[in-house]
Amino acid sequence: MLPFRSAAVLLVALAAPLAFAQDDDTPVVAGARALLFSANLDSGLTGLDGGALGIKWQSSAERALRLGLTVGAGLSISDGGGEAFGDQESQRVNLGADLLFLRYARSRTPIYLYYGLGPSASFQFSRFEADRGEQSAEQSFAGVGLGAAGVIGVEWPVSSAISLNAEYGASLDATYTYRSLEREAGPEDPQGLNESANEFGVSLVSRGAQAGVSVYF
């Protein structure tokens, strides 16, 4: 499912209770703090992909500051199915952090619409190794990024201490990446290979749709 479609479906689903909303004892008040737990619906939730933790400080009913951390990791090992591929191992780690300044808006219903902007940072690392006995190869990638992130979402308090969240996010990132490929000399490749490249770029990145829970304390 496309990220934009996921976000639209999620926001509509959480906004549906508006038609039946009643007065509530909202936790979204000045001085409130909350722990946030969320998952990215577009990542497939493989391993730790898309898992996010955060903490929010509510300075007023209309403003909040949120610090978030996103973690992704993966490990795959196989014996490759014969000489053509050999033993293979791949590793992957993704880390991200952002500090968002949020604004909240609410009508006469319990559901809040919020949006926010703030700085963000990211780190990515991956490595792939293949070993066919007489020859092995290793490919690596590392990247760091700095940028500005933005979100738009809804928050629905379901009690005086818990609320449900759904949001869509994107970021404008400046990234520096390093790639390397090393292949040992072997019967089919007497020269072997050892090359690397550095790149710098700026890109607009979709963060996809996220759903989560906020626990106020």
For the chain, the domain total comes to 1
Is residue 6 within a helix (H) or strand (E), and if so which, with residue range?
helix 3-15
Residue 141 forms beta bridges with which residues? 126, 179
Q: Cβ of 171: how many Cβ atoms within 10 Å?
A: 24
| CA dist., res. 203 & res. 1, Å (int) | 22
| CA dist., res. 72 & res. 50, Å (int) | 6
How crowded is the C-beta side of 180, counted as CA atoms within 13 Å? 11
Domain CATH for 202 = 2.40.160
The residues, any chain, with a CB within 8 Å of residue 68's CB and separated by 6 or more, are: 36, 52, 53, 54, 96, 97, 98, 99, 100
- Containing structural domain, residue 189: 3-79+86-216
Please give the chain's pLDDT, 217 residues, in tens. 444 455 555 555 555 544 444 455 789 999 999 999 988 776 544 333 446 889 999 999 999 999 999 888 887 777 765 555 567 888 999 899 999 999 999 878 889 999 999 999 999 999 998 887 677 788 999 999 999 999 999 999 999 899 999 999 999 999 999 999 888 766 666 677 788 899 999 999 898 898 999 999 9
